[in-house]
Amino acid sequence: GSVCAKRPLACEHCGLNFHKELLNDHRTHCPERVVGCEFCGTDGILLGELALHYDECELKPWCCTMKDYGCTFEGPRKSLMEHLTFEDHIQIIVTHFKELSVVNKEQQEEIGHLNIQLDALTKAVKEGNRRVSTTLTTISRALHAQQEENRKLRSKLDDLSRMIEQKTIHPILSSKLEGTTTTHHRIPRDGTIERVSYPRYVEAGLVSRPVSARGTSSSSA
């Protein structure tokens, strides 16, 4: 029958046990597996040591260290060492720096445009802040004026409330003092003598004195 996928099996290279379903993947990457160099043909190299061999392999192709500057050379180590002595690299470097200079100039121009936009935005923000500050000041003054108006209205309402309370109390006092009057004399500017009678609650200052008709007048001495 078929072998269980979880059955432990030993790797023929390192001797470690793995589930059958994982064994094939391990064999591919097992550091104890013996391989050969694909460049120089050397055999008997452990897979775990192959990277070290590549660092010393004379036939492994290497890219020029000036690749980032535009050099396209690729060859074995020996040829690379000879290639690095070529004077062409100087021209490659000069060309690269010229390209960098052009890019730098374009970037400086772009930075200049961005600075102009930044200045415009800064001015716009300052102007916006100034308008907001002015608006807030106007609102604050309006609120203060409204509060003062409300204070005056409350004062008037308090006065009206006191007047209403007095008008509620006066009839009671008036009924108790009804028929009780006091007589006063006064001399207007024309020299005549007036006799005026007031209820006593008027004298008490609870209500204003009514306008009275002139009494019998006599000629001044």
pLDDT tens figures, 56-97: 898 899 888 888 888 888 888 888 878 877 667 888 888 888
The structure tokens listed for 69 are 């500057």
β-bridge partners, 207: none
Dihedral pair phi/psi, residue 154, rounded to 5°: -65, -40
How far apart CA 96 and CA 63 sit, in angstroms, is 18
Other Cβ atoms closer than 10 A to 162: 10
Give the SS3 label for residue 148: helix
pTM of the model: 0.37
Q: What is the pLDDT of residues 182-194, one digit of tens each?
A: 444 444 555 555 5
Average pLDDT for the chain: 79
Structure tokens given for 192:
């005549």
Burial string for 92-104 (b: 16+ CB within 10 Å, else e) reads: beeeeeeeeeeee
Domain chopping of the chain, boundaries:
1-45, 89-171
* pLDDT of 157 over the 60 cut: yes
pLDDT in tens, 12-59: 999 999 998 899 999 999 999 999 999 999 999 999 999 999 988 988
Alpha carbons 81 and 66: distance in angstroms, whole number: 12
Tokens in use for 166? 């007095």
In angstroms, rounded to a whole number, what is the distance separating the alpha carbons of residues 206 and 218? 32
pLDDT tens for each residue of 88-136: 788 888 888 888 899 999 999 999 999 999 999 999 999 999 999 999 9
Which CATH fold topology does 1-45 show?
Herpes Virus-1 (3.30.40)
Per-residue pLDDT, 35: 94
